[in-house]
Amino acid sequence: MLEPSHWPRYHGLLFIGDPHLAASPPGYRIDDYCRTILEKLSFCLETASQQRYLPIILGDLFHLPRNNPNHLLVDLIELFRPIRPWVLVGNHDKHEARLTRDVSLAVLQAAGVIRLLAEAGPVDRVRINDQVVLIGASPDWTPLPNGMDEPGADVVVWVTHHDLRFPDYEGGRFTLKELPGIDLVVNGHIHTYKPPQRCHQTLWYNPGGISRLTRSVYTQSMQPAVSLWRPGLPVPERLIIPHRPFEEVFVPLSAEEAARSDTLDESLFIKGLENLLMRKTQEGVGLKAFLEANLNPRDPLDAMIWELYEEVMHAENQA
């Protein structure tokens, strides 16, 4: 870490949730998705530059970890070079659960246009107005701290990319609790905004992603936003990002789809399968554990899924 006299000075922190940048539009998007997300990132970084806020991307900068086209990487290099944002590693940024030299984040790091937050622990101290702020990180699949004892820091802020159990997100793996010595935890990964939750000293905050990926009733009313924080604010402030109406970026919802309650968010089962696919554990062990934890053997459909798994694994073992 730098000596106190060389600590960077800012007026605040600007948190950017899960851009999921990709050359091709995911799901039901019908707009020029790549240009749209680049424009949103440009707005975020221009805001940070004008207000002298440190921009921190909360993971999943990319939707696909590697093989992104060169023109996309060049656009990012040119966009990031003047301000050099901090970028937390998310699950979509890694190939087979690992951060390797062939992923797109590694290209940006080698180009020197980002500060990559790839390991769990304290990262650095910065001065925000008259306060010394320690910033720490827990990237995807790294441990959350039990607390922090850092003499000399006025405020401790931790950025994470985890499934946190907010009140209306019961699929979360980690229960919110006080982390002594940590004042603010800002989380990526969960794409929907969650109201801040205070556990004694620790405030948990999930700003949501800046990209609308799913075609759902919730997305229909979602307003992509960036979050700004500085010492003294009780909670981060949300700043709405310029965006186009839902009907201009998605295939419209039918009346039947709009009436369905299960379109409010992605299926936790499907999200789990996607996460598992990205990790690709060997010999189907991870898949078996996932299915055992999530399938109901008394449900006919779940029984068919389990039977299919056993058939596939038997064929693999015989090959």
CATH code of the domain covering residue 35:
3.60.21.10
All residues at 6 or more sequence positions from 208 whose CB lies less than 8 Å from its CB, including other chains: 17, 18, 190, 191, 192, 193, 194, 222, 224, 225
Q: Is residue 51 in some structural domain?
A: yes
pLDDT of 125: 96
Q: Which of 211, 225, 59 is nearest to 137 (CA)?
A: 59
- Please give the tally of structural domains in the chain: 2
Phi, psi (deg, nearest 5) at residue 131: -110, 145
Residues 235 and 289 in one domain: no
Residues 146 and 221 in one domain: yes
**Ranges of the chain whose pLDDT falls below 50:** 261-267, 277-283, 285
Residues 133 and 241 in one domain: yes
Q: Using the CB atoms, write b or e for 281-310: b if 16+ within 10 Å.
A: eeeeebbeebbeeebeeeeeeeeeebeebe
Strand, helix or coil at 142? coil
pTM for this predicted structure: 0.81
Residue 276: both structure tokens together: 């598992």
What's the CA gap between 319 and 316, in Å, rounded?
A: 5
Q: Is residue 256 in some structural domain?
A: no
Alpha helices in 92-233 (DSSP H): 104-111, 217-221
Q: Is residue 257 in some structural domain?
A: no
Q: Which of 218, 185, 191 is nearest to 17 (CA)?
A: 191
Residues 314 and 183 in one domain: no
Torsion, CA 300, CA 305, CA 310, CA 315, rounded to 10: 130
What's the CA gap between 22 and 319, in Å, rounded?
A: 36
Based on its alpha-carbon atoms, the radius of gyration of the chain, rounded to whole angstroms, reads 20
Residues 157 and 288 in one domain: no
Cβ atoms of 138 and 162 within 8 Å: the answer is yes
What's the CA gap between 5 and 205, in Å, rounded?
A: 31
What count of residues does the chain have?
A: 319
Residues 83 and 230 in one domain: yes
Give the domain range for residue 294: 262-318
Residues 219 and 89 in one domain: yes
Strand, helix or coil at 14? strand
Residues 136 and 108 in one domain: yes
What's the CA gap between 175 and 49, in Å, rounded?
A: 35
Point out the domain boundary residue: 198, 215, 248.
248
Cβ atoms of 63 and 93 within 8 Å: the answer is no
Residue 270: both structure tokens together: 């499907």
Q: Is residue 284 in some structural domain?
A: yes
Point out the domain boundary residue: 195, 213, 248.
248
Residues 208 and 269 in one domain: no
Residues 9 and 123 in one domain: yes
Q: Is residue 255 in some structural domain?
A: no
Residues 209 and 280 in one domain: no
Q: Is residue 253 in some structural domain?
A: no
Q: Is residue 254 in some structural domain?
A: no
Amino acid type, 196:
P
Residues 231 and 298 in one domain: no
pLDDT of 8: 87
